[in-house]
Amino acid sequence: MILPFLIIIPLLAAFLITLISGEKDNWAIVLSILAVISLLALSIFSFFTTGNDTFIYEMSGWKIPLTICLVQDAFSTFMLVIVNLIALTSLMFSVSYIKHYSGTWKYYALFMLMITGMNGVIATGDIFNLFVFMEIALFSAYALVAFGGKAEEYEAAFKYAIMGSISSTLILMGIGILYATTSTLTMANIAAILPTKDPRIMYWVGAIFLAGFGLKSAVMPFHAWLPDAHSSAPAPISAMLSGVLIKALGIYVIIRFFFNVLGAPQIFLTLFMILGSISIIVASYLALGQWDLKRLLAYSSISQIGFILLGLGIGTKLAILGAVFHIFNHAIFKSLLFYNSGSVEMALGTRDLRKMGNLKDAMPVTSTTSMIASLSVAGLPPFNGFFSKLIIIIAAVQASHVGYAIIAVIGSLLTLAYFMKVQRYGFRGNDIIEKPEVSISTGMKSAMIILAILCIVSSALIIPGIREVTLDPVVSVIMNKTGYIYEVLGR
């Protein structure tokens, strides 16, 4: 069983970094990269060997529901691949980028703890264990947001911690209600027992979890912490926060709980569509008014999460396919855009689009990859974002939600508008930049190139034949609302 190693390896790496690094930051870099390469290899192997099967690891001699279990299915392994892929590129970007900070070995230790928490949230089948891993990831994220030591970073981290504490309190309250009602913390057992109880309990817990995990995923109106936190953090951490953290701690748990545990009640699907639509439109308008590049990207993340939530709310097989595909796509192009912003800030010393210029000659890799990422997030063919958004729009029309389809189209046009602004002022402006003050390292360029290539080639995931072995098994896990119970309990 591979799942335990996906938690043990980053936790052990974090411990070893704090034990032996000290002033020797190179040890921290080597240990982190080796650990994440191992995690990515194990995740990819698990994904392609799991298929439509489900594997359970019981962490003691006891059996479910008396033990903590780990659940390996297509959905969990798909999310593990995304988390560890972005983690690897973030580490590649960090090696040079983070050197101008002090105490960099602490950065890598916190980074590995954050990965431990995310992998644990995704792998666990126990809802309290999920809460524990979530807190591990969050406390690491709070520290990483404030890692630069500037006043604005401390302020952003404090705001993030306050909002995170509120959401965690709500989630812990919901877990307490579930345990008092079902006398178990295993999610499959909760799913089996809860329908026999008063239905009002399900609605109350669902509402509490929607608010709690809605805060984690920064869905409007639960988004207030994200623009400050994601814009203040170091660029590779911004990529991790927007690319994977809000999905692992927010969207993944929302899908797992509301679909596999509660059975996707229609009232919550309707709320998903409403909140998703609000996020798409309002966040896009807020992004249009931004001149700080990282802040614009932060609002864009809220908007793109809205597309995912809209697809989940529509609830058809095609819509969920689009949502799942957009989870992957958003991780790729948004992480790339934050790398681009970090490269520009490092080279020019500014994030203000009005103070940038024509970077095509001075920073050709950054300029080219930013164009690819901008076209991807705006949903232009043949880039990956086009296909996931198109699938969601078609699914909305097929499900007779024409109004929501129109909202998705408007959101895509607004996204194109504010990324045209990014390209016009930030990368192809009137001021010719001859040579940047700081050169961009090979590792930073490599991370951007890898994700830019994925923005193009990952479009192939929807091709029949490829889709059946990549996306379809994930959709089947989500759509099979009662299958999760039988796969975990009825082995």
Query: Is the pLDDT assigned to residue 350 strictly greater than 70?
Result: yes
Q: Would you call the peptide bond into 65 cis, given omega within 30 degrees of 0 as the criterion?
A: yes
Domain boundaries, the chain: 3-489
Give CA–CA dist 428/431, Å, rounded.
8
**What is the rounded average pLDDT of the residues 207-211?**
92
Considering only residues 233 and 306, tell me which one the structure prediction assigns the higher pLDDT.
306
SS3 72: strand
Alpha-carbon separation of residue 246 from 29, 447, 464 (angstroms): 25, 21, 30
Count of beta carbons in the 10 Å neighbourhood of residue 428? 16
User: One-letter amino acid identity for 85?
Assistant: L
Contact 47, 74 (CB under 8 A): yes
Contact 187, 257 (CB under 8 A): yes
The confidence band for 66, taking pLDDT boundaries of 50, 70 and 90, is confident
Give CA–CA dist 79/120, Å, rounded.
11
The confidence band for 227, taking pLDDT boundaries of 50, 70 and 90, is confident
- Of the listed ranges 186-190, 246-250, 325-329, 347-351, the one predicted with least confidence: 347-351
The residue to which tokens 């097929």 are assigned = 398
- So what's the pLDDT on residue 146? 86
- So what's the pLDDT on residue 50? 86
The residue to which tokens 């962490």 are assigned = 59
The residue to which tokens 């994440």 are assigned = 36
Pick from 322, 206, 221: which is nearest to 254 by CA? 206
- So what's the pLDDT on residue 305? 92
**What is the rounded average pLDDT of the residues 159-177?**
91
The confidence band for 119, taking pLDDT boundaries of 50, 70 and 90, is very high
User: To the nearest whole number, what is the mean pLDDT of the chain?
Assistant: 88
Give CA–CA dist 270/277, Å, rounded.
11
SS3 145: helix
